[in-house]
Amino acid sequence: MSFLLGKKSASAPVSGATTPRTSGVADPVFEPISDEPHLVGHPGYLTESHNEALKAFTELLAKAGLYSPASEDGTVEASPDEATLLRFLRARSFQPEAALAQFQSANEWRKQHDVENLFASGFTAEEFEDTKRFYPRWTGRRDKHGLPLFVYRISALEPLQKELDAIPAERRYQRIIGLYEQMIKFSFRLCSYLPHPTSPLPVSASTSIIDLGDASFSSMFRLRNHFQEASKLATANYPETLGSIVIVNAPSFFPTVWSWIKGWFDEGTRNKIHILSKDPQSLTTLSTLIKPKDLPKIYGGELDWTFVEEPNLDEEAKAVLGEMPKGPAVFNLKTGKVEKPTAPVF
């Protein structure tokens, strides 16, 4: 989920590269990754019609009591921020009414699951860190455009299957919520704070490598509900947080797996999925997205990092954080500091 263009005027029409790639829409397509830019519709890269839709969406949210403008003195920021508004608009093809319906649904979902309190006080640091074993993990690095790079090695879950099944369904769902909140409030904010090609525009998506190497068909079948649960949660409530998704080491049975999973994603997300075969040469195409120093060695890069390890922070992130915080955390963009999440006080 590529970001290569220089900054454009927020009101100027954007030319070129406005049509998403279509690999993987109907059937898996094994082809190189393009470095074609996909910034259209993001903050700072809006056409006139996008700006009109954003204005209409903001007005609809305000009428529904779901939007608070920034204060005139700048001490209070708009809520939700522009990046969040645009995520919902992109998910609904910049149709304000449709974006409003999804936003309202997501807002009700957050209330139903008490998301703010859950993230603030629903996990011990130990449980939260343990949860990361079952889901995509941040490498501590970023792609060429400043997006956090996550990796999900499916075969690593095989020995954990019984442990995963033993977690009550509701708690497993809450853990997924916690990790998404961490991605939005810590990883995206940190990467927005660090120097990146589109600074000072915010980072609001991630790049993910899904590694199917050594994963058996039987394990993929057993884990399909686990994957589906997380995918549906993200599509409905955290739209447009996935950037480029690169599936590597795709096995011969992958077309069958694809027939299960392609319906979990909307067309916009499917257009971001790139599928690479087991041919070692195909891994070199990852270099179009990720610098060798930030790409794990197992995928043809230079980074000493494996899926079971803690994030290996780059020098810029290390200078800001020192080390990765344990447990739920929020990155404060104003202070450049890590904070513990707090629930809103009414």
For residue 118, is it within any domain? no
Which DSSP string do the residues of 180-217 spell out, in sequence order?
A: HHHIIIIIHHHHHHS--TTTTSPP--EEEEEE-TT--H
In 152-301, where does DSSP find H-type helix?
Answer: 161-166, 169-182, 188-193, 217-237, 254-261, 267-270
pLDDT score at 263: 81
For residue 177, is it within any domain? no
More confident call, 33 vs 340: 340
For residue 16, is it within any domain? no
For residue 154, is it within any domain? no
Cβ pair 286, 34 in contact under 8 A = no
- Residue 245's beta-bridge partner residues? 208, 273
For residue 237, is it within any domain? no
pLDDT confidence band for 346 (50 / 70 / 90): low
Question: For 109-164, how does the pLDDT look when each residue is reduced to its tens digit (9 = 90+)?
Answer: 999 999 999 999 999 999 999 999 999 999 999 999 999 999 999 999 999 999 99
Q: Is 44 helix (H, G, I), strand (E, B) or coil?
A: coil
- What is the residue range of 64's domain? 47-112
For residue 186, is it within any domain? no
For residue 320, is it within any domain? no
Question: For 6-51, how does the pLDDT look when each residue is reduced to its tens digit (9 = 90+)?
Answer: 233 333 333 333 333 333 334 444 444 444 446 889 998 999 999 9
- Residue 138's beta-bridge partner residues? 150
pLDDT score at 75: 78
Question: For 70-115, how does the pLDDT look when each residue is reduced to its tens digit (9 = 90+)?
Answer: 888 877 889 999 999 999 999 999 999 999 999 999 999 999 999 9
pLDDT confidence band for 310 (50 / 70 / 90): very high
For residue 101, is it within any domain? yes
Q: What is the CATH classification number for the domain harbouring 61?
A: 1.10.8
pLDDT confidence band for 261 (50 / 70 / 90): confident
In the chain, how many domains are there?
1
pLDDT score at 345: 59
